[in-house]
Structure 1
Amino acid sequence: MKSLYRSCLLILFAGLAMAANAQAEDFRVGFVNTDRIFREANTAKAAQAKLETEFAKREKELNDIGNSLKAASDKFDREAPTLSEAVRATRSKQILDQDRDFQRKRREFQEDLNARKNEELQQVLERANRVVKQVAEAEKYDLVLQEAVYVNPKHDITDKVIKALNAR
């Protein structure tokens, strides 16, 4: 009786192993490198160019303010030994106030730029995810990953996704 039971279990496990092996051969996995999509896809490049155009004027203004502040600070450092205590204190306070204002404007600029960049990248990612889904369905992938520690290059479908994104 025990040997019959063992034989049945052995046959069952062998059948399960063969079924799992056959199913594993049909299981297709793909990988998409989102960093490459953000660097190479035309939509990502267009979003970057849009941001550069949108923020170029403010960035130039900030650079101009920073340069004039540096020039004023350098001038103050050169003239400080010859100035009276009252004038030196007044000009020092003015430079500190200008620097504080400059730092605030720079921080606001960076926050605005980061917010807009996140918005644009989110739109690119949403488009890319739709294309990934289309490629996966068309080529019958069972699973597509975007993050992995290691990926065999034969599973990387990033080029297909970028081509499909650029074709739109």
Structure 2
Amino acid sequence: MKFSNSSKWIQVGLVAMASAFIAPLAFAQDAGTRVAVVNSEKVFNESNLAKAMQTRLQNEFTKRQDELRKSAEKIKAAAEKLDRDGAVMSEAERSRRQRELADQDRELQRKQREFTEDLNQRTFEERAKIAEKANLVLKQIAEQRKLDIIVQEAAYVNPKADVTDDVIKALNSQK
């Protein structure tokens, strides 16, 4: 079988590409790279810091959430009343009430957007605090166990490599 110059270069290129992918793996194995994995969502959901964060946010936002729910119920009741009584109202009165309802609904939607934005912002701030503490704990675990890499959210994790529970325990033991 005779190869042209272009097919030789393709073969050389394929060998070079394969070497580029395989070499780091071989090096990592030869170097004895130690890897661990942490499930950050589990840390954000199950640690005492996360539970305290949920309580704080709930206490901070429950009143506004209740007010929004009450406003929505009032608008719904007014819309139902308008549907029932609209037939006996004058056209001008019906139009005026429809405009009022539309204005109230727009205002409610604006307040709901603000509520959601505020809640998301506060959640982000609180999670950042937890992440900062968790990263310090991860660094300590890496140093204690002589780990080279700690990866978040791996597709597959051997339970031996999962340090999530250790991170949660360490966070829970902090004041």
Cross-structure match for 1:141: 147
CA pair 86-164 structure 1, distance change in 2 beyond 3 A: same
- Match among 51, 59, 71 for residue 57 of structure 2: 51
- 1:23 aligns with 31
Q: What TM-score, normalized to structure 1?
A: 0.84
**What residue number does 1:113 align with?**
119
Q: Which residue of 2 aligns with 1:3?
A: none
Instruction: Determine whether 1:77 maps to 2:122.
Output: no
- Determine what percentage of the aligned residue pairs are the same residue: 50
1:102, distance to aligned residue in structure 2 (A): 0.5
Question: Counterpart in 2 of 1:8?
Answer: none
Cα separation, 2, equivalents of 1:23 and 1:96 = 68
* Offset of residue 23 of structure 1: 3.2
| Alignment coverage as a number of residue pairs | 149
Structure 2 spans left out of the alignment, 5+ residues: 1-26
- Which consecutive segments of 4 or more residues in structure 1 shift more than 3 A? 19-23
Q: Secondary structure at the match of 2:36?
A: strand
TM-score, normalised on structure 2? 0.81
> In angstroms, what is the RMSD of aligned CA positions?
1.6
